[in-house]
Amino acid sequence: MSETLPQYNGTTVISTHRLTKVYGKLVAVNDLHLQVMRGDVFGFLGPNGSGKTTTIRMLLGLIRPTAGRAVLFGMDNAHQLPAILQRIGAIVETPVFYPYLSGLDNLRVIAASSGMMSGPSNDQRLAEVLEIVELQSYEKLTYSKYSLGMKQRLGIAAALLADPELVLLDEPTNGLDPVGVIEIRRLIARLSELGKTIFLSSHMLHEVQQICNRVAILQKGNLVQQGNVSDLLREGEQVEVRMDNEEDMQSALYFLQQAREQGANWIRTINMAQNRRGQATLVIDTPQMHASEINAILARNNLFAAEIHPREGSLEALFLKVTTPSPASLHLGMEALADVPGPESIPEASRSGKRGEQ
């Protein structure tokens, strides 16, 4: 068995090997190979019922895998769960607390349960996490009176309480209004800056694209995509070209196709389409950085583009692409790990990961 184990090294925080969970005839998670590196902001995507929460529950030891294993911090969670959990802060689904206790009292209870000293010795830490999630003013309010956003924030405070190395967040923006979503996004960015490894399960693709440096996509329990967000988005990048008239459009199409045949293999496909204003455009599947080369090809042939728009790839497009076809044809299994870079090969910008800042 050992020869098929994923090659994890000193910076691999989560590594799952053929992790599987079956409920009767339902395969909730199938043969999952995940690898999360220290410092990653790892987006764990998938439609409802794709197995995200089941995977998180298996990582946290709440449910037992039917097959396979999960290794966190180099320790197998089937044997060393307490030591692993001491290094993790987690929200699993909607955070739930004791409704009859105040926010502060709930944190006190969780602090003691997390192995922290009881009594006033940790009061400063409680104040710190309440400040991080901006709940100081509501610390004495009974939890049952908290709004959904406050409950989510208290969940994050609880997850951060013992200063964990890995923070697992399962749908932390569920039910939040746009302001709440932005707050959580900022908070995750802040945690990442503090050096935490974040494992973020979500189906809010736009959020994940903005804050994660690596993603995995699950579909019906199968891992269908895993890799660096920047690499995956690069695959979806396009350049949109609009010419002044139909004749020039046809010429541009001809010369670009010719260029591709002559070796410009960075041009994947060229399609005629209409832009949002109803104008005919050429949509070229190619990394954005080739926009100037496209312009040069056209210019060499005395064609002058009216508009050239480099278009970023979107996680949404990728998500739809990989979750729409039959999952069986896309199931990656061990191959998914082929895309996992070693820590040395992850670009620094990508490690710090904020797509919006790139």
Partner 1 sequence: MSASSQQEQVIPALPRTQTVVMGRQGFFSVVLRLIGVELYKLRCRMMSKVLAIIAILATIISSALVAWITPDPLELTNVVTLVAQTLNIVGLILIIILAGTIVGGEYSVGTVRLMLTRGPTRAQYLFAKLGAILTCIVTGVVSLTVLGSIVAVLFGLTKTGVSQFNFFAGALAPSLVWYILATILSLFVYGAMACCLSVLGKTAAAGVAGTILWWVVEGLVDNILPWIGSLSKGLLSDFLKAIPDYLIGRNISTLAQNTLAESDSTTMLASLHALLVLVGYLILFIGLAWWVNKRRDVIN
Q: Is 231 exposed, middle or buried (0-12, 13-18, 19+ CB in 10 A)?
A: middle
Contact status: 341 vs partner 1 (CB under 8 A):
no
- Pick from 22, 87, 287, 341 the residue near partner 1 by CB under 8 A: 87
Q: What is the DSSP string of 232-257?
A: HHHHT-EEEEE-SSHHHHHHHHHHHH
Structure tokens at 251: 């010429």
Contact status: 278 vs partner 1 (CB under 8 A):
no
- What span, in angstroms and rounded, lies between the C-alpha atoms of 55 and 60? 9
Contact status: 198 vs partner 1 (CB under 8 A):
no
Q: What is the DSSP string of 197-214?
A: EEEEEES-HHHHHHH-SE
Residue 271 CB, shortest distance to partner 1, in Å, is 46
Residue 174: DSSP 8-state: T
Indicate the Cα dihedral angle 47, 330, 43, 23, nearest 10°.
60
Residue 75 CB, shortest distance to partner 1, in Å, is 6
- What span, in angstroms and rounded, lies between the C-alpha atoms of 85 and 199? 14
Residue nearer to partner 1 on the CB measure, 162 or 298: 162
Residue 201 CB, shortest distance to partner 1, in Å, is 14
Binding residues for partner 1, rule CB under 8 A, total: 58
Contact status: 156 vs partner 1 (CB under 8 A):
no
Residue nearer to partner 1 on the CB measure, 58 or 249: 58
Cβ within 8 Å of residue 28, ≥6 positions away: 21, 22, 51, 54, 221
Contact status: 97 vs partner 1 (CB under 8 A):
yes
Residue 289: DSSP 8-state: G
Residue 65 CB, shortest distance to partner 1, in Å, is 10
Burial 143-154 (b: 16+ CB within 10 A, else e): beebeebbbbbb
Contact stretch for partner 1 (CB under 8 A) within 103-111, 271-279, 319-327, 347-355 = 103-111
- Pick from 26, 67, 100, 182 the residue near partner 1 by CB under 8 A: 100
- Pick from 116, 264, 317, 330 the residue near partner 1 by CB under 8 A: 116
- Pick from 32, 41, 60, 267 the residue near partner 1 by CB under 8 A: 60
Cβ within 8 Å of residue 162, ≥6 positions away: 86, 89, 111, 114, 115, 116
One symbol per residue from 19 to 58: x for binding partner 1 (CB under 8 A), - otherwise; what is it? -------------------x------------------x-
- Pick from 85, 154, 215, 241 the residue near partner 1 by CB under 8 A: 85
Structure tokens at 96: 């739930």
Residue 142 CB, shortest distance to partner 1, in Å, is 10
Residue nearer to partner 1 on the CB measure, 158 or 223: 158
Task: Please report, as ranges, the residues that interact with partner 1 according to CB under 8 A.
Answer: 1-2, 5, 8, 10-13, 38, 57, 60-64, 71, 73-76, 79, 81-82, 85-88, 90, 92, 95-101, 105, 108-110, 112-118, 121-122, 124-125, 128, 158, 161-163, 165, 195
